Amino acid sequence: MNDIAIVSAYEALIGNTPLVKLSTLSRLVGRSVYVKMESLNPGGTGKDRAALAMRRSKTGGLVVEGTSGSTGIALASLCQRRGHACVVVLPDDQASEKQRILEALGAETYVVSNAAIANPNHYVNVARRLAVRANELGTVRAVFIDQFENVSNFDTHYEQTGPELWRQCKNLDAFVMSSGTGGTIAGIGRFLKEKHVSVKVVLVDPPGSALYHKIQHGVAFANQQRERELKRHRYDTLAEGIGLDRVTNNLALGVDFIDSAIRVMDQEAVDMAHWLLANEGLWVGSSSAMNVVGAVRVALQLPSKSTIVTIICDAGQRHVTRFWNRDFILSRGLEWPGDCERIPGCIQNIEGSAAL
C-alpha cells in the first residue's frame, strides 16, 4: 500500500477519456468519424491535463492566469485541493457562466475587453502584470502559469494524450482539431506523425484567426488584422477559446507536423452543434462543433472507410448564454437552426442527409 502514489480524486480522474464513434455521421459520410471525449475530464475539458502539468512545473501559493475560462476552471479546482489562492483574468467575449463557475470554485476574477496580444490590456498581459505586482508586494509568492508559452502544456499532450489516443485507435488516417494555446494539436499531432507519417494532421481555424494562413501560406495573418480595419477590441468569432494571431511556444513545437488547415465559419458551427444534438445526442460547445465540421470536411477528402478523429473539447452547458442562446446568435447576424430546417453545409449535399 505504501508504494501506491496517492493523488486527489480530481487528479485521479484526469485523462483516459473515451473515444466514441459518431455512428449517424459516420454512416452518412461513409467514413468512420470518432471523437475523443475530453469533455469528460473532471473539469469538463482537456485543459485539466495541461493545467495539472503546468501547475506542477511552477511553485507558488498564488496562481494567476489569463484564460478564456477552461484552463482557469481546471486551475481553480486544483488550487482548492492544495489550499492555494487563484486569480483569473478573462476576456469579455466568453459565456458568463464560466465566470460564475470560477467564482464558485473560489477564484478571484477580472474581466477585460478582448484585444490583440500586442495590446497591454490583453487578458494574458493583464494577468502577467498582476502576478508581477503580487510578487512586488511580497505577501505571498505568485506564479503566472502562462498556458500559451509554458511548454508543459505541449509535453502533457505529447507524452500522455497522444499515446492514449494511439492505443485507442492505431488505424486512424487523420487527426483534426482547432488550436487554442496550440498545446493539444501540437502535442498529439507530433506524436501521431512520429508514430506513422501518413496520418494527416489538420488544423481547424475560426474567423479572425491567423493560423489558417500560417499553415497554408507560411504567414500568420488574418484579414481582420489589416491596419485600416484593425480594431482595438476584436470580436471576430463566437467560438470561445480557439484561434490565435501568433505562433505560441506550444504550437511551435508541432507546427511543422500539421499538414493543412481548414477555415470554419460561425454559422457552420452553430448548424453542426444543433445537428449533433439531434442526431448523435451530444450537446457540445462552439469549438467542439467547429472540430466536427472540420473532421467531416477532411473525411470527405479521404477514401471511403477512412478513420478520422477529432476532439470534443467541452459540453454545451458552458455556452448557454452565448452559443446556445437564440437571441445572441441572431444578434451576430446568424440563423438559429430551430427557426428553420438547417443542415450543416458540410453534409447537406450528401444523399440522405435531409431525411435525418
The residue annotated as part of the active site, out of 36, 47, 200, 214, is 47
Q: Please choose, from the candidates 159, 160, 124, the residue with its C-alpha nearest in 3D space to the C-alpha of residue 145.
A: 124
Model confidence over 72-131: pLDDT tens digits?
Answer: 999 999 999 888 999 999 999 999 999 999 999 999 999 999 988 889 999 999 999 999
Query: Which domains does the chain carry?
Result: 9-41+161-329 (3.40.50.1100), 47-144 (3.40.50.1100)
Residue 312 phi, psi (nearest 5): -95, 105
Give 58's pLDDT tier (boundaries 50, 70, 90): confident
Interval 281-305 mean pLDDT: 97
Q: What is the CA 157 to chain-centroid distance, rounded?
A: 13
21 in active site: no
Q: What is the pLDDT of residue 236?
A: 84
**pTM of the entire predicted model:** 0.92
Model confidence over 189-213: pLDDT tens digits?
Answer: 999 999 999 999 999 999 999 999 9
Pairing of strands 19-21, 32-37: antiparallel
> Is the Cβ–Cβ distance between 89 and 16 less than 8 Å?
no
- In which residue are the cell numbers 450528401 written? 350
Interval 310-321 mean pLDDT: 96
